[in-house]
Structure 1
Amino acid sequence: MQEAAKRFGTPLYVYDAAELDAALGRVHSAFGDARVYYAMKANPNLHLLRRLLAAGVGFECVSSGEMARAEHVGATGEHIIVNGPAKSAEEYRAGARLGATFVVDREEEVDLLPPGSRALVRVNPALAVSTHDHLATGAAQSKFGVSLAQVPGVLGALRAAGHTALGLHVHIGSAIRDADDFTAAFGRLRELREVTGPLQVLDAGGGWGLDADLSGIAREAHATAAHFGAQLWVEPGRYLVARAGTLLTQVVGTKHTGRDFVLVDAGMTELLRPMLYGAEHPVQALWEASAQGVWDVAGPACESGDLLARAVPLPTPTPGALLAIGEAGAYGAAMSSPYLTRSRPAEVLWTGQEWQLLRRRETPQDVWAAELTAAETPSAGC
């Protein structure tokens, strides 16, 4: 990683091809013949998408932009699922043109689908789950899905409107720590069998914690799919890419106020999850020193919440030393921001033999490229 930092600068997103392949291998090993769709929002880098499509993985898309990425790498038809609670007219048109499967998130959506659509009905099982509130999509108070009681009516409405009602979809959240949460969700779905009849597809979503009992979750998911006579689909996102990615950042200096801070050149604009969800990422010092201390890792933004980690044991930092922030392959680059007109970092891949540049570092000119200067702004006059 020292070599990558010297060649490409910092902050820098670094991906490991071997771990990408290993994560997909774990999913296939656990879920067997289930159809896999990658939740693109975790990391939409085109190189990663091409690798996954070549391995037979489809894409779950939640915007017209993500559908455009899927089409750009060659995915169409059954390789695309269109999800989201508030789809636009443009997104319905794009999904129809690509032959995608739509996830119906509310009763009224049946009337908005393009004619003859394939659809799944997203079920909200109304469960409290072991994750941050902002990530709990299957909670009763969340904005996602239809209630258990609404499911038969939505399936019937889809069929009456001439659509193909493939089956049910459930995704209870992300970074879920307790595998029993999935068992509870599948149990509530199985109660619907008497009113739905047999189905073609059960989409069990994703959201598995990185250390989850994947085999146990897969057994429950397959059993639930079999209960409906359905094929199992799954939608891993973070699980596939988080551990494959590292955010490299360089020490700028230290500061001692009410706490001891190591100041680095990456922050909330490069890794938002700690500020947004209170997420904890592993931190590794890529230097050695005899003295140790406990440090908060602070970024450069003029925001009190711009902290990548708190109370991390580290050797005494020196300017120019490198820190590796782990599990940054998901929602690092994807959520990166040009706030403060900061240039988004480069993304590189270690192939096992060489560093491959996947995305160049932005320049300030890239950040403001879409803005119109006074000379370019159309006149508002008559």
Structure 2
Amino acid sequence: MIPAADLHTAAERFGTPLYVYDAAELDAALARVRAAFGAARVFYAMKANPNLGLLRRLAQSGVGAECVSPGEIARAEKVGLTGEKVIVNGPAKSAAEYAAGARLGATFIVDRAEEVGRLPPASRALVRVNPALEVSTHDHLATGAAGSKFGVTLAQAPAVLDALRAAGHTALGLHVHIGSAVRDAHDFTAAFGRLTGLRARTGPLAVLDAGGGWGLDADLPGIAREAHAAAAAFGAELWVEPGRYLVARSGTLLTRVVGTKRTGRDFVLVDAGMTELLRPMLYGAAHPVTPLWTAEPGGVWDLAGPACESGDLLAQGVALPTPAPGDLLAVGEAGAYGAGMSSNYLTRPRPAEALYEAGGWRLVRRRETPEDVWRAEEDNAE
């Protein structure tokens, strides 16, 4: 945990809104994954946070990357990841993604039967299977539900494996990822159970990729035991793809109080909002909020951002000491889908990002300026 004094130092040095990352917590999360999953191969689901500073740290620790866009593939290459260290995933891959993935020698995850004919020659591939489960997470995060756009059905999977082999590809095995921020570990047990039911139709496989999506407080050793058992049923090596689990708790969004307002509710107005942290508005996500000042008890407040949107609330019903302009708040568990989802809506420059390591700060993304936001428009103006 980064000391409060050092958070104040970062806010003074780099300004707010500001994303800060704790290198020690990132390392600790990776250690927990490795302790639970043992010899399983680990690929970081880059969409959680694509910052090059974090990617380099993970790559140097031997972690591969799961990429879902041409830009993410380029980031993987930028930090030196190639070949079997790279997975290319996604339900609607472009020609650019196939070409970039082939150039790096990546493994492709086949999301639909028709994709077999689009793969570059002699590709390595996994078949993504949708286990058609009700999953204990927000509907927008449930990728293993029957109505989800991801994967092939259990009935289709063996034929897709056969089609890969017939087309000259290496059919490594199966992939399953049921969602993000999954609360109930039994969901994973159910998913793995449905996959192992395919064993009689697939025969032995080289790889079972069990995805990620574990809640931050999940029973990781228990999930790992189930995943290893499923892999063993196929005689397969186990791969996992943690994203949010690795980076969420390492990241904090620092924001300053602008003022207060009492209407139908009591609001603390802050300088960060939906353009910096979209998850509360998009998923109803709840992030812990810590005041970094001392004062008399001040009641219960909603944290309202600067956007002209009624839904621009970072948190609701937060007990805070009496706030004053300039006071600093730490919004926790923001390392995943925070900075990566930040936007330039309202021509708001995206925030800076800083890494805390060995008691010191290092800027890993500078704060944008308005000129950065409109540069592409100006360069193309007639």
TM-score normalised by length of structure 2: 0.98
Deviations 1:67-88 (A, max 9, x none): 0000011110001000000000
AA matched with 1:3: T
Residue matched to 1:85: 91
Residue matched to 2:224: 218
Residue matched to 1:68: 74
AA matched with 2:138: H
Runs of 4+ that moved beyond 2 A? none
How far the C-alpha of 1:116 sits from its partner, in A, is 0.4
One of 260, 267, 271 as aligned partner of 1:265? 271
AA matched with 2:313: L
How far the C-alpha of 1:369 sits from its partner, in A, is 1.1
Residue matched to 1:290: 296
How far the C-alpha of 1:352 sits from its partner, in A, is 2.3
Deviations 1:235-261 (A, max 9, x none): 000000000000000000001111000
Query: Is residue 16 from structure 1 mapped to residue 22 from structure 2 by the alignment?
Result: yes
Paired with 1:242 and 1:260, the residues of 2 have a C-alpha distance of 28
One of 153, 162, 166 as aligned partner of 1:160? 166
Residue matched to 1:124: 130
Residue matched to 2:119: 113
RMSD: 0.7
Paired with 1:42 and 1:32, the residues of 2 have a C-alpha distance of 23
Paired with 1:295 and 1:310, the residues of 2 have a C-alpha distance of 7
1:251-330 aligned at under 5 Å gives the runs 251-330=257-336
Paired with 1:153 and 1:8, the residues of 2 have a C-alpha distance of 54
**What SS is found at the alignment partner of 2:290?**
strand
AA matched with 1:10: T
Gaps in structure 1 of 5+ consecutive residues: none
Q: Is the 2:298–2:323 contact (alpha carbons within 8 Å) kept by the matching residues of 1?
A: no
**What SS is found at the alignment partner of 1:305?**
coil
AA matched with 1:284: T
AA matched with 2:360: E
TM-score normalised by length of structure 1: 0.98
Paired with 2:378 and 2:273, the residues of 1 have a C-alpha distance of 29
AA matched with 2:34: H
Q: Is the 2:70–2:100 contact (alpha carbons within 8 Å) kept by the matching residues of 1?
A: yes
Paired with 2:353 and 2:293, the residues of 1 have a C-alpha distance of 22
Paired with 1:22 and 1:372, the residues of 2 have a C-alpha distance of 44
Residue matched to 1:231: 237
How far the C-alpha of 1:196 sits from its partner, in A, is 0.3
Paired with 2:297 and 2:150, the residues of 1 have a C-alpha distance of 50
Q: Is the 2:352–2:368 contact (alpha carbons within 8 Å) kept by the matching residues of 1?
A: yes
Q: Is the 2:73–2:101 contact (alpha carbons within 8 Å) kept by the matching residues of 1?
A: yes
Paired with 1:179 and 1:352, the residues of 2 have a C-alpha distance of 35
AA matched with 1:206: G
How far the C-alpha of 1:316 sits from its partner, in A, is 1.2
How many residues matched? 376
**What SS is found at the alignment partner of 1:175?**
coil
Residue matched to 2:375: 369
AA matched with 2:185: A
Paired with 1:16 and 1:77, the residues of 2 have a C-alpha distance of 29
Between the two proteins, what is the percent identity of the paired residues?
79
